[in-house]
Amino acid sequence: MAKQGQAEALWYAAPGQAEWRSESLPSLNAAHMRVRGLFSALSRGTESLVFHGKVPASEHQRMRAPMQIGDFPFPVKYGYAAVGRVEDGPANVIGQTVFALHPHQNLYDLPLDGGAVLPEGLPPMRALLAANMETALNTLWDSGATAAQRINVIGGGVVGLLVGYLAGRLPGAEVTLIDVQPARAKQAAALGLQFALPSAAPGDCDVVFHASGVGSGLATAIDCAGDEATVIEMSWYGAGQIPVALGGAFHSRRLRLIASQVGKVAPNQRARWSYRRRLEAALNLLRDDRLDILLESPIAAADLPAKLPEILKPGGGVLCQPIAYPIS
């Protein structure tokens, strides 16, 4: 039987405040494996809401991460992008590198089916994008986007860029990333996408994805959709409310506005796809070196609490922020 372990985990303790807390892991039981953290990553949009205490009471249960400890608003141990190496458990899993939907922690136990083994050739740090890629894949399914369509993606965060990346692989598709930050043109070009500021967004689109998280972005998405086109709303606004531009030509163009969320497999795939199959597909889709442009330089875990306000501030330029372990 494995010995007890000592772990350090990040807790969101109060609005704008996070801290590392020590915890003792119990002796490992036969149905689990013990994982030594290599990296974890912040989900900028969701964890900004958690960090600032803006998860609405109505969503406290639906917003729970798979291995969350504590309850919203505070204190809560939250996060869902972690990569580590199995150091204890059954002999056939020791040494495997796995992705898990686990909070930020340097040592943790997982059920034997709770970690997805990284496919050959996928670097551990890039695997941090798995949850975002899973969201992007699910969103593409929700949209019904197909070959040769004109497609806009509004909002060049990680998920928006990954949606653009997937859509850009559709044969003959014309995909444009729209963002208020001209610097996002660099990431767009690296992933084979066109780029435009909102004022120059191409119109008459077949499908428009909205991932900016602000009302003006949704208005842009509606404006550039063509007749009977589909607008996919990917943003989640927490406790906030935004105006929706349903006046103008919204009705005359017979637009469809559809919410997409990763918590359920897209209806058109649900009969055949499990959560596990979808996650494994997302990991395989990450085997492209171009996607490293979405990763910031890793920061030491010990520095994370002090750097969180800058990383999570509104309008910040950070994409995926890796956190490197161990904690010192």
Q: Where do the domains of the chain lie?
A: 5-125+295-324, 132-259
CATH fold group of domain 132-259: Rossmann fold (3.40.50)
Distance CA 100, CA 113 (A): 10
Task: Return the percentage of the chain with pLDDT > 70, whole number.
Answer: 98
Residue ranges in 117-206 assigned as alpha helix (H): 130-143, 158-167, 184-190
When the pLDDT of each residue in the chain is averaged and rounded to a whole number, the result is 95
- The pLDDT of residue 328 is 62
- The pLDDT of residue 127 is 98
Tell me: pLDDT of 8 over 90.
yes
Q: Which amino acid is at 157?
A: G
Distance CA 103, CA 109 (A): 11
Distance CA 30, CA 24 (A): 18
Q: Which of 252, 248, 245 is nearest to 227 (CA)?
A: 252
Q: What is the mean pLDDT of residues 32-39?
A: 98
Distance CA 325, CA 164 (A): 31
Query: pLDDT tens digits, residue range 123-170?
Result: 999 999 999 999 999 999 999 999 999 999 999 999 999 999 999 999
Tell me: pLDDT of 116 over 90.
yes
> Which CATH number does 5-125+295-324 carry?
3.90.180.10
Q: Which two tokens stand for residue 185?
A: 């043109």
